[in-house]
């Protein structure tokens, strides 16, 4: 399952970041590290963004970026 498929209120654990290049490095720099837990705050169904809470702060990602983060529901 990828991050963009999660529903608001769900908690997930990051399994892998599949993005390469600049986007992959940016996600890793922002804390998207395997084993990290996060909480989905909002997920716009048709247009961006996906808002989540991770490590005490809020992050908004485009759906195209969220598709590059594999997660499992906790």
**In the chain, what are the domain boundaries?**
3-73
The number of beta carbons lying within 10 Å of the beta carbon of residue 8 is 12
Report pLDDT for 44.
Answer: 84
CATH number of 3-73: 2.30.30.90
pLDDT in tens for each of the 74 residues of the chain?
Answer: 999 899 999 999 999 999 999 999 999 999 999 999 999 999 887 888 999 999 999 999 999 999 999 999 99
Report pLDDT for 71.
Answer: 97
- 37-71 as b/e: b if 16+ CB within 10 A: ebbbeebeeeeebbbbebeeeebebebebbbbbeb
| pLDDT at position 50 | 93
């Amino acid at each position: 399952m990828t991050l963009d498929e999660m529903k608001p209120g769900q908690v997930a654990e990051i399994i892998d970041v599949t993005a390469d290049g600049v986007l992959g490095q940016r996600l890793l720099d922002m804390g998207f590290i395997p084993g990290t837990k996060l909480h989905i705050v909002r997920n716009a169904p048709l247009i961006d963004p996906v808002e989540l809470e991770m490590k005490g702060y809020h992050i908004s990602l485009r759906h195209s970026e969220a598709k590059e983060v594999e997660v499992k529901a906790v």
